[in-house]
Structure 1
Amino acid sequence: MIPLNQLQVFQALHDSPNTRLEHSAQLGDGMVAALWNNRDDARDYHAPSHHTLSCYIAGGTGTFRRDRPSAKGAPGKLCILPAGHESNWVINGSIRLAHLYITQEQFALECIRLLDREPRALQLQETTFLDDAGQTARFRQLIALNWEEPGERLLTSSLAHELVDHALLHQVGLRQGLRLKGGLAPYQRRLLADYVEQHIEQPLSLGELAALCNLSEYHFARMFRESFGLPPHQYLLARRLAKARQLLRFGELPLVQVALLCGFASASHFSNRFRQALGATPGEYRAAFRG
């Protein structure tokens, strides 16, 4: 779970006396959703360590950035605020907006999974008042769900993944002026990603993965993190949980078999890890998609 006080955009809104938080929910996989109301305010965001996808649900016609006063918001408009960006906002009148916060580690995982690219080479493009009917519809679906119900919160998590995937496929570009140093070569990154997928049910060790690249465990772990954006054990766990979600959502295998196919030593270990990541047991997750 992500401490909310470590989400700088969330905290900047939360600290305003003019802002009211309707709902927030930890969605697992490095994502948090929040629904806000604000009126007659000014907010500044200074180099947050996370990415933010934003959708104006209602109002916002008096909202603008100080450096772009002629461009105003409106219902349905989207904003993309990458990690590390700087922006200063003025809110005249009222606004209701939904936010999805994404950690840089989750962004890195999706860059590898969807784009087969090294995360360091890519950047989420900062965008203000974007029109994208599909993304707006996903945000409206998201806020219509009851985040207090475990089953619906899991559906919310699936919508959040769709929002992030769409942003990665349409709003990610090459990082300009970057010369990559260190890290794994592209062929090594692909070799490792393929090897993990093909052997995900096996008890993989750091030494086994390092040997594929002819590196010591120490240098491999450092170079892996530089290229993948997170340490090897976190990457492996994320891929195992991703496969588990797919098997639970689209299959009928017993939970014990799902655990073994995804590389977990026991059903209890699988259940504990799954609940830590998504806030629900594997059985509750499967039930949410059978409703």
Structure 2
Amino acid sequence: MHPPDPRFDASRRVPSDFDVGRWQALEQTSPDSPPWKLLPQSVKRSSHDRPWTGLVFWHQVGPEGDLYVPPTASHSILVRRAQPTQLLQRQGSVIESLRWQPGQAVVVPAGLPSFWRSAQPRDNLHIDLSPAWLERVAHTQVSLQSCFGRDDPLLAGFAQLLLASLDSNTSLDSQFGQHIAEAIALHLMKHYVGARASSRTQAGLSRRQMQRVEEALRADLAAHWTVERLAQLVDLSPFHFSRAFQASFGAAPHAWLRQQRMEAAAHAVRGTRLSFEEIAHQTGHRSASHFSQAFRQHWGMTPTAYRRAG
């Protein structure tokens, strides 16, 4: 019988070779990007070019070893796909070590930095879910709990379903993604949600405030929306609005608006015959060329290629 590997000892506050300086830098990072954008070298395949609102599915591959991940704008659900591996994790201030088995789920709430030490190569299925979906199904503010590894056949089943859709190139319409995102959010609400925040500072925007801001932004995506202008809609200072918006939507206002513009643009490119100049105008881009560049940077392909793929 082999002695335990001290590199995976969770009884320590931090591992002996843990890069404290690097971790402290992560803690100061604003959650602005989705996980798949933070780890592009690990993305084997991804649904990021599909118009699935609030949901991105991707297959992560990579070598064993350490991984430091900044806080992200999305809730991350990971399901182990390959052989078991010893896994040391840190989410926020909590450290756990376990034998991560195929089919088991790990959940990292939006806004938390994370550290991963894997003894085996990475072969994991990721579901990145916008926090806005939890608010929609809960009709209030909720706090998602960390999960360091759990048998969850339903989350594993969702991951396999999305993988099958990706591999077979089916279920390309936005309605499919929306229904899956809502079903996952309902499941998380029942099994992974902690105590509700008790104050406006903790909880962010009220349900009515969220609805007012969201309706205003969606009604005029092309407008020049500043934080000051958005804050006026709900009678908050720009400073408190930014913090409340981040807590409610899981992303900074400009990042959330950019995501909505790109999703609307993807729908228009694939679902209409509008010119790219018209779509650019509708989604707040100054020209067709600027729109094409932003679209490619966000979705990984040009509007022309995206339209042809549909």
| TM-score (normalizing by structure 1) | 0.63
Work out which of the residue numbers 114, 137, 149 in structure 2 matches 1:115.
Answer: 137
Q: Distance in 1 between matches of 2:67 and 2:196?
A: 24
Q: Is the counterpart of residue 168 in structure 1 residue 185 in structure 2?
A: yes
Cα separation, partners in 2 of 1:184 and 1:235, compared to 1, 3 Å = same
Q: Is the counterpart of residue 221 in structure 1 residue 238 in structure 2?
A: no
Q: Distance in 2 between matches of 1:254 and 1:117?
A: 38
**1:45 touches 1:87 (CA, 8 Å); kept in 2?**
yes
Aligned-pair CA distance for 1:56 = 4.6
Q: Name the aligned partner's letter for residue 152 of structure 2.
A: L
Q: Name the aligned partner's letter for residue 260 of structure 1.
A: H
Cα separation, partners in 2 of 1:201 and 1:282, compared to 1, 3 Å = same
Partner of 2:124: 98
Cα separation, partners in 2 of 1:136 and 1:208, compared to 1, 3 Å = same
Alignment of 1:69-108 (within 5 A): 73-74=101-102, 77-83=103-109, 97-100=123-126, 102=128, 107-108=130-131
Work out which of the residue numbers 155, 171, 184 in structure 1 matches 2:205.
Answer: 184
Cα separation, partners in 2 of 1:241 and 1:2, compared to 1, 3 Å = closer
Partner of 2:288: 267
Cα separation, partners in 2 of 1:273 and 1:158, compared to 1, 3 Å = farther
Once the two structures are superposed, residues 185-222 of structure 1 have per-residue CA deviations (whole angstroms, 9 ceiling, x without a partner) of 32112111111111223333333322222334344334
Q: Is the counterpart of residue 255 in structure 1 residue 276 in structure 2?
A: yes
Work out which of the residue numbers 124, 127, 131 in structure 1 matches 2:153.
Answer: 131
Q: Distance in 2 between matches of 1:282 and 1:167?
A: 29
Q: Is the counterpart of residue 240 in structure 1 residue 261 in structure 2?
A: yes
TM-align CA RMSD: 4.5
Q: Distance in 1 between matches of 2:164 and 2:143?
A: 28
**Secondary structure, counterpart of 1:252 in structure 2:** coil
**Secondary structure, counterpart of 2:130 in structure 1:** helix
Query: Any gaps of 5 or more consecutive residues in structure 1?
Result: 15-20, 146-151
Q: Is the counterpart of residue 53 in structure 1 residue 72 in structure 2?
A: no
Q: Distance in 1 between matches of 2:197 and 2:69?
A: 19
Q: Is the counterpart of residue 197 in structure 1 residue 218 in structure 2?
A: yes
Q: Distance in 1 between matches of 2:78 and 2:143?
A: 20
Once the two structures are superposed, residues 75-130 of structure 1 have per-residue CA deviations (whole angstroms, 9 ceiling, x without a partner) of xx241332458999887xxx98333264xxx6334445x53756x62316636232
Q: Decide which structure has greater strand share.
A: 1
Q: Distance in 2 between matches of 1:261 and 1:5?
A: 26
Aligned-pair CA distance for 1:160 = 8.3
**1:138 touches 1:159 (CA, 8 Å); kept in 2?**
no
Q: Distance in 2 between matches of 1:163 and 1:171?
A: 12
Give the length in aligned residue pairs. 252
Q: Distance in 1 between matches of 2:37 and 2:261?
A: 29
Cα separation, partners in 2 of 1:44 and 1:181, compared to 1, 3 Å = farther
Q: Distance in 2 between matches of 1:264 and 1:22?
A: 28
Cα separation, partners in 2 of 1:161 and 1:36, compared to 1, 3 Å = farther
Q: Distance in 2 between matches of 1:259 and 1:101?
A: 29
Q: Is the counterpart of residue 282 in structure 1 residue 299 in structure 2?
A: no
Q: Distance in 2 between matches of 1:285 and 1:68?
A: 42
Q: Name the aligned partner's letter for residue 126 of structure 2.
A: L
Cα separation, partners in 2 of 1:57 and 1:205, compared to 1, 3 Å = closer
**1:98 touches 1:139 (CA, 8 Å); kept in 2?**
no
Q: Name the aligned partner's letter for residue 33 of structure 1.
A: W
Query: Any gaps of 5 or more consecutive residues in structure 2?
Result: 1-32, 89-95
Q: Distance in 2 between matches of 1:87 and 1:99?
A: 15
Q: Name the aligned partner's letter for residue 174 of structure 1.
A: V
Q: Is the counterpart of residue 33 in structure 1 residue 58 in structure 2?
A: yes
**2:60 touches 2:124 (CA, 8 Å); kept in 1?**
yes
